[in-house]
Amino acid sequence: MTPAGSLLIADDLHKAYGPTVALDGAEFSIHPGEVVAVMGPSGSGKSTLLHCLAGIVPPDSGSIVYNGREMATMSDAERSALRRSEFGFVFQFGQLVPELTCVENVALPLRLNGTSRKEAERTALTWMERLEVDDLRGKRPGEVSGGQGQRVAVARALVTSPRVLFADEPTGALDSLNGERVMDLLTDAARSTNAAVVLVTHEARVAAYSDREIVVRDGKSRDMERVV
Amino acid sequence: MSIGHTLLGLLESGPRHGYDLKRTFDEKFGHDRPLHYGQVYSTMSRLLKNGLVEVDGIEAGGGPERKRYAITDAGVTDVERWLATPEAPEPYLQSTLYTKVVLALLTHRNAADILDTQRAEHLRMMRILTDRKRRGDLADQLICDHALFHLEADLRWLELTAARLDRLAEVVAR
């Protein structure tokens, strides 16, 4: 797919950690409502690419344009606001705050944006219903299974109705059945809100939920749609 | 798949006509490849000849006569033996993909491109199967999973081979 009309476009990204080159001219683009898998072997640079795209880590050089704006020109506060309100995140482990109940965890991004507790938890519950974990509302993360916890994390990532969901190995710690359920619900929920999903995975069965994939090797990306 | 054993197994629940066997087979196992009537009748003739089924009754109608088949004791034993015998694993030792990769290296073509093209094609098929699985019932899910796991194994081989291309190129050049 061409970058025209893309929500997020990255061009010629370079990033090194000391002598280690993580990105070496990587490119990326994604449209609203599209699910793009970022694949590649361990250490290929796929997580670094996600961190750069999400504004978590600045690239050494290259351009990242989100919704028509060059991210490098944004202030730290603007990038933080973007991550809080326009981006959602799902990681492999340890995303939920153990002291909070599941519904409080899901409501947290809304609370941080200033929404009242009652309103935030009401919205959180509708997302928990979509992810089929509303019965866990009063439980703490330590009291739920890995698969359930990951669905709570997906609900939390989607509660602000982000325009881009970044998912880094979202099923990496789950067995096949739970992983599939998470992917079913995650992609259904994202598609229903027209959110773009950047899905970093090394598992082909997870990547098969995407619309297309790019492969990162040695810090270089390859759009597989242009291969066939 | 052994059509004969599958049809025999379907007869274990009670006698059936040929068309009924075909319909049940297609529903449960046919999916993209339904049986031809000819296959059903030739298979039933063979099973009859081997004493694994018998004709339980004949209905005369306006069209051709319709035989109803029943499984014999020998047929039940045959099904049981088939079910208990493990299928030979298919190790794919003569992989076309491997040949293509080595040939590409020998002729100084881009072997990584061949692997990438194949990878994209595999993932395209995996997307189709994943989509079918999401829409389908439990039987569809199991069939698609079987195919998905095999494709995934191929993909892992493609990844590993891509990571070993430089070494393979050296070995091939000797």
**At A17, which CATH number?**
3.40.50.300
List, in sequence order, every beta strand (DSSP E) within chain A: 8-17, 20-30, 35-39, 61-66, 69-70, 87-90, 164-168, 196-200, 212-217, 220-223
Residue A218: inside a domain, yes or no?
yes
Residue B119: inside a domain, yes or no?
yes
Q: Hey, which residues does A9 pair with through a beta bridge? A: A29, A65
Does B35 share its domain with B79? yes
Report whether pLDDT(B161) > 70.
Answer: yes
Domain end among B58, B84, B110: B84
Contact present, B10 and B16 (Cβ < 8 Å): yes
How many structural domains are present in chain A? 1
Which residue of chain A has the CA closest to B129?
Answer: A208
Residue A78: inside a domain, yes or no?
yes
The band of A155, judged by pLDDT with boundaries at 50, 70 and 90, is: very high
Alpha-carbon distance of B126 to B162, in angstroms, equals 20
Q: How many CA atoms lie within 13 A of A6 on its CB side?
A: 20
CATH number at residue B77: 1.10.10.10
Domain that holds residue B107: 96-173
Which residue of chain B has the CA closest to A177?
Answer: B145
Contact present, B98 and B105 (Cβ < 8 Å): no
Percent of chain B at pLDDT > 70 equals: 95
Report whether pLDDT(B48) > 90.
Answer: yes
Domain end among B84, B112, B143: B84
Alpha-carbon distance of B171 to B158, in angstroms, equals 18
What pLDDT, in 10s, does the model give residues B105-137? 988 889 998 999 999 999 999 999 999 999 999
Q: What is the pLDDT of residue A1?
A: 45
For this complex, say whether ipTM is above 0.90: no
Which of A163-167, A193-197, B159-163 is least confident? B159-163
Q: How many CA atoms lie within 13 A of A122 on its CB side?
A: 5
Does B26 share its domain with B55? yes
Is the Cβ of A220 closer than 8 Å to some Cβ of chain B?
no
Question: Is A184 within 8 Å of B151 when comparing Cβ atoms?
Answer: no
Question: Is B130 within 8 Å of A227 when comparing Cβ atoms?
Answer: no
What pLDDT, in 10s, does the model give residues A47-81? 999 999 999 999 999 999 999 999 999 999 999 88
Contact present, A199 and A49 (Cβ < 8 Å): no
Residues 6+ apart with CB under 8 A from A123: A107, A110, A115, A159
Helical axes A102-112 vs A146-158, angle rounded to 10°: 20
Domain that holds residue A24: 1-83+196-228
What pLDDT, in 10s, does the model give residues A123-147? 999 999 999 999 999 999 999 998 9
Residue B38: inside a domain, yes or no?
yes
Report whether pLDDT(B41) > 80.
Answer: yes
Return the SS3 of B16. Answer: strand
Residue B89: inside a domain, yes or no?
no
Structure token pair of residue B9? 């197994």
Alpha-carbon distance of B82 to B89, in angstroms, equals 15
Q: What is the pLDDT of residue B80?
A: 92
Does B72 share its domain with B132? no
- Residues of chain B with C-beta less than 8 angstroms from the C-beta of A205: 126, 130, 148-149, 152
Q: What is the pLDDT of residue A226?
A: 64
Residue A220: inside a domain, yes or no?
yes
Does B101 share its domain with B54? no
Which of A5-19, A181-195, B62-76 is least confident? B62-76
Residue B15: inside a domain, yes or no?
yes
Residue A66: inside a domain, yes or no?
yes
Q: What is the pLDDT of residue B63?
A: 62
How many structural domains are present in chain B? 2
Residue A179: inside a domain, yes or no?
no
Q: What is the pLDDT of residue B93?
A: 65
Residue B104: inside a domain, yes or no?
yes
Percent of chain A at pLDDT > 90 equals: 72
Residue A225: inside a domain, yes or no?
yes
| Total CB pairs under 8 A between chain A and B | 46
Does B28 share its domain with B48? yes
The whole-angstrom distance between residue A87's C-alpha and the CA centroid of its chain comes to: 7
Q: Hey, which residues does A164 pair with through a beta bridge? A: A87, A196
Distance from CA of A5 to the nearest CA of B (A): 24
Domain end among B50, B84, B118: B84
Structure token pair of residue B71? 């499984």
Distance from CA of A49 to the nearest CA of B (A): 20
Alpha-carbon distance of A199 to B23, in angstroms, equals 42
Alpha-carbon distance of B39 to B6, in angstroms, equals 13
Does B20 share its domain with B58? yes
What is the rounded average pLDDT for all residues in chain B? 89
Q: What does A2-39 look like in DSSP terms, one character per residue?
A: -STT-SEEEEEEEEEETTEEEEEEEEEEE-TT-EEEEE
Report whether pLDDT(A3) > 60.
Answer: yes
Closest listed residue to residue B45, CA positions, set B9, B3, B1, B76: B3
Report whether pLDDT(A2) > 80.
Answer: no
Does B46 share its domain with B24? yes
Residue B91: inside a domain, yes or no?
no
